Chain A
């Protein structure tokens, strides 16, 4: 495990980058995380990415936008990307904010995402 930032823990398991984002991540931290992950996807040859946001009590438009961008970047770099663990209240709030996650793959939990990646032979 390498902590790329105070804001998240990153593990590489069987070609899948697992990222657990911690609560109260700052704007600078999440932008830093986005940059570092983009590099690591290529350097470490990740086939899949799972971003766990279960710890996030709040996802506002800024953090939501960065998460959606992370998915898009992962996709462009050839890694299937899942955002998992979104709390129900967060999902309801994001919809009211008008945030569109339709370009991102989401899954209920880490194990759901890993099962999907395994089914595609990516993990």
Chain B
């Protein structure tokens, strides 16, 4: 299933809102292939939905890659966008913070749903989020 020790098993271009569903489907398929339990899959795919929507709505689109560890016990996604970047990451991760007309629970919520959450962003440099879930 892997295309290398930790190579991507799927790649989804994020251009429009239909790609949110495509990204969810790609991660769902990968996790089903790994035999992930329903709750673990639903939590992780929900987190993916949040960050991918952010990348499309605020980040002008980008790309999601899906990686499976060699022992198939861990799934990782990497979401990169080429948007304006996030000025204050700590603030963006707080519930209730939103620059759009949303609840502002997306990023902070995604972080709570995964085992590992790494975000790198700077104004003008886009945003890169990596999330990992153990099976």
Interface residues of A (CB under 8 A from B): 24, 26-28, 57-62, 65, 87-90, 92-93, 96-99
Total residue contacts A-B, CB cutoff 8 A: 68
Contact residues of B between 1 and 38, Cβ < 8 Å to A: 17-18, 20-21, 24-25, 28, 38
Which of B25, B53, B95, B108 touches A62 (beta carbons < 8 Å)?
Answer: B53
Inter-subunit contact B45/A27 (CB<8 Å): no
Inter-subunit contact B45/A61 (CB<8 Å): no
Inter-subunit contact A97/B105 (CB<8 Å): yes
Interface residues on B, range: 20 to 34
Inter-subunit contact A61/B50 (CB<8 Å): yes
- Chain B residues near A62: list those with CB within 8 A: 49, 53, 102, 106
Contact residues of B between 36 and 78, Cβ < 8 Å to A: 38-39, 41-43, 45-46, 49-50, 53
Inter-subunit contact A57/B42 (CB<8 Å): yes
Inter-subunit contact B105/A98 (CB<8 Å): yes
Would you call the interface of chain B mostly helix, strand, loop, or mixed? Answer: helix
Interface string of B82-113 (1 = CB under 8 A from A): 00000000000001000000110110110011
- Chain B residues near A93: list those with CB within 8 A: 39, 42-43, 46, 113
Contact residues of B between 94 and 135, Cβ < 8 Å to A: 95, 102-103, 105-106, 108-109, 112-113
- Chain B residues near A26: list those with CB within 8 A: 17-18, 20-21
Inter-subunit contact B42/A89 (CB<8 Å): yes
- Chain B residues near A27: list those with CB within 8 A: 17, 20, 53
A-B contact pairs, 27 of them (CB 8 A): A24-B25, A26-B18, A26-B20, A27-B53, A28-B17, A58-B24, A58-B45, A60-B46, A60-B49, A60-B106, A61-B106, A62-B49, A62-B53, A62-B102, A65-B102, A87-B42, A88-B39, A89-B43, A90-B42, A93-B42, A93-B46, A93-B113, A97-B46, A97-B105, A98-B95, A98-B105, A98-B108
